[in-house]
Amino acid sequence: MAIRKLLLPLTGTAAGESALATALSVARLWNAHVLALHVRVDSRDVAPLAGEGLSGAMIEEMMSATEKESGDRASAVHRMFDRFVAQHEVSLAEPRYGTSHATASFAAVTGREEDIVAQQARLADLTIVPHPSADDDVSSSDALHAVLFDSGRPVMVAPQTPPRSIGTRVCIAWNGTAESAAGVLAAMPWLHRAEAIRVLTAEGYQRRGPDAHDLGEYLALHGLRAEIATFQPAERTVGGGLLRAAQEFGADLLCMGAYSHSRLRQLILGGVTRIVLERAGLPVIMNR
């Protein structure tokens, strides 16, 4: 299956610029369409948060300030989008079947970002989100988790620095779970384009289910040749070992399942998904 439509939630941050550059690079690889989506804050949502003790005039003033700030941010994001599209030589156009080049369009809507992004992602082949900032709690990345938990579609986490290449050397993180199987399914278009594929597995990572050799046989049925490598934890974490093994392979794409354990458990104790989200320096496709 080819990739034809990309969804890109844009907030205007520096991480958003890298995600935009990544999305446009992916679009050029696949002659795909990028829908850059900016969700504006609804000023009406400010009133319930204002609390008691504020007059109607004060609440109205807060709503007006929120509306102005939201409009200014949307304009800045749109300008950033136009600049990057011109730099990457991507055509501004609406999506259309049979296009032989990458296209992009911009939309700004008002509402709750996690709801709108999840809904729009359901009809996108891939959603590309910015890398969580180092000073942000990964669990609060609303767009990322909305896609993972409420769209049924895969998400690509863009690195903090735009990659020079994407999908030439692909690593698959495999532990036998339903989530890792979903990650493989999301990766299939990329695997058929890849020059080299490596399946990464580890004793402390494997769960009940098919092992890496079973996955290798499955990929062979699809005409894909993958080597299998066992990695060791790094810095006492499986996630750190996984990222180190991908780096040693020279991977420019990592594909994996997400949250085999609950988000709460990963928030409190850490976990492979959380560590990869925090530390990955390459594009990561996740699915669950």
pLDDT, one tens digit per residue, over 143-166 is: 888 898 899 999 999 999 999 999
What is the Cα–Cα distance from 240 to 256, expressed in whole angstroms?
14
Both 134 and 206 in one domain: the answer is: no
**Residue 226 is assigned to a structural domain of this protein:** yes
- If one compares 113 and 262, the residue with the highest pLDDT of the two is 113
The reported pLDDT for the residue numbered 36 is: 96
Query: How do residues 123-135 score in pLDDT, each as one tens digit?
Result: 999 999 998 864 4
- Looking only at the bridges linking them, the beta strands covering 33-40 and 155-157 are unpaired
Q: What is the mean pLDDT of residues 66-89?
A: 83
The reported pLDDT for the residue numbered 136 is: 52
How many domains, in total, are found in the chain? Answer: 2
Both 176 and 114 in one domain: the answer is: no
**Residue 163 is assigned to a structural domain of this protein:** no
Both 237 and 204 in one domain: the answer is: yes
Q: Where are the beta strands (DSSP E) in the chain?
A: 5-9, 33-40, 91-92, 103-110, 126-129, 155-157, 169-173, 196-201, 227-230, 253-257, 284-287
What is the Cα–Cα distance from 275 to 68, expressed in whole angstroms?
37
Both 85 and 203 in one domain: the answer is: no
3 state SS of 211 = coil
Both 143 and 201 in one domain: the answer is: no
CA 153 to chain centre: 10
Q: Are 285 and 253 in contact (CB under 8 A)?
A: yes
CA 279 to chain centre: 14
Both 21 and 149 in one domain: the answer is: yes
> Which of 270, 185, 259 has the alpha carbon at shortest distance from 222?
185
> What percentage of residues in the chain have a pLDDT greater than 90?
55
pTM of the model: 0.87
Where in the sequence is the domain holding 274, given as residue range(s)? Answer: 169-287
Both 148 and 60 in one domain: the answer is: yes
Both 173 and 127 in one domain: the answer is: no
Domain CATH code at residue 71:
3.40.50.620
Looking at residue 220, what DSSP letter applies? H
What average pLDDT does the chain have?
A: 86
Query: How do residues 174-186 score in pLDDT, each as one tens digit?
Result: 999 999 999 999 9
State residue 70 phi and psi, 5-degree precision: -65, -40
Residue 264 has pLDDT above 50, yes or no: no
